[in-house]
Structure 1
Amino acid sequence: MNEPAGPSGPTERVLDLVGGIRLTPTQRRIAHCLVQHAPAAASFSAAEVAELAGVSQPSVTRFAVALGHDGYPALRRRLREVIAAGVADAGGENELQRAVRAEIGNLDRLAGQLADRDRLAATGRLLAASRPLPVLGLRAAAPLAAYFAYFAAKVHPDVRVLDAGGTLLTDRLEQAAAAGATAVLAFVLPRYPREALDALRESRSAGLRVVAITDSPVSPASEHAEVVLPAAVGTDLVFDLHTAPMTLAMVLLQAICDAAPTDTQARLEAFEASAARRQLFAL
């Protein structure tokens, strides 16, 4: 179960402050801390942010300057403005309506990110060329990995779902690399299982290129992935909403199909012929 979080309006506005800026690993830790504590972030002193993020106070000051502010006090004023705007935007709707509208906002931001088709196409080619293609997803991310893999298996000859942790996970990653895999697709979502982050490091050690679908460009997965594809997670309900990450997964699968259209069409036709022969579907 994910920990309950505050309104996604302030969270997304805080994320907008740090999105698209090249940050150092230390600065990503500070950004992630502010995003995770968005509703209260504007009340934190520089020392409190440093303690929460596990960094030095001067690092917090340098982070504020990297975002274009004179120092942390100026950044905190900006945080107050964006958080206040998030609260004002809530309007008179109930919490269920706000949760759904927040998801609409997440999808809208995802649509904006997809303007760069070249980057997505390159990622699709990278994954399409990996034979086999390991797909990693632990805990909350396991259903997304399975959902993606179910459809990917119709157009890719060897998709391997890795949805269980433990010592066997590293074995399966190494076996995939030995069998010819060149990349791994990883779904890494809050609360970011340590085993998932360890698996990303193991993937890099095994020579695999890591593509991560995660909730934020400053998530812990970004430190270990060669390609980071962010899609925000809804946090207004008791359990997280994964609408945007699931949508991004299907968009990425489209890019994989586009990378090898002839093979894709042949495999889809073969599947349809087999399904008709076995009468798999009612319609």
Structure 2
Amino acid sequence: MRLATLLCLILMTVQTAFAQLPAAEPLLGDYSMPEGNKGVLIFNSSKRFDLNLLAEFDSECSSHPHVPCVYIDTAPMDESREIFEDAVLSGKLFHAEDVQGELPRALFIKDGDVIGEITSSITLMTGIHLGYLSGGLSPREFKDAREKALQSEQFRRIVPKMNFVLMLAKKGERMKALEELDKIEVGKLNDKGLLLLGQTYLRLKAPDRAEKVLDSCSSNVECRFFTAISVYLQGDAERGAGMLESMKEEYPDKERLEYYLNKMQGEGK
């Protein structure tokens, strides 16, 4: 169920490219919008972040020469022409004004349909989409790569959140800290993220919440270990000990496992 939910989140609803691409004109010279599959970056060259993103996007495009790339600048045309007059880029430059929606954003078009519209983690996702458009990735590999990339990015983002939550707890605002943790979308996390979230719940003395989260990564032995700790902290030493007993052969830190196992077995009698 978690995988299905995640796929729904990352697999964009396919829309016609005509509806998504803004009306644009060539910025420098006489050329037309490439037909067929392509990657498109819509940006504003007056912003330094967007220029850095353009450089990274263009670098990925140069690694996939069989996929045309298009760069649509939304800055005033005179300013845009001045910036790019001597630029050497892999893709073609266009200009458009009054573009609606969040910027910067990337569109990836296959057979006339937008298969991806991305406004965050653009650099992370560009190579994956271009690899698929160039034929270097199968549909299954494409979906798997997007899922892993999204999960990795989600983990990177929750680390500062955990630090903020622990700061609240140190200030005595435990309930507020728990409310912040409860806002995290568990379905978007990989095992590493789920483990971190479960451990943080334990640090905030919320073993019931920790168990619920850690159950979602039960194929991971470290998650199962902390699930057993969660069960024990809820008062069921016998069940917790049984869970630890079942993983004695595979859990790498034998000393830590034996410590908690002895503790639980002692209390379970």
Smaller-chain TM-score bracket: 0.3 to 0.5
Instruction: Tell which has more relative contact order, 1 or 2 (C-alpha 8 A, sep 6+).
Output: 1
Tell me which structure has the larger Cα radius of gyration. 2
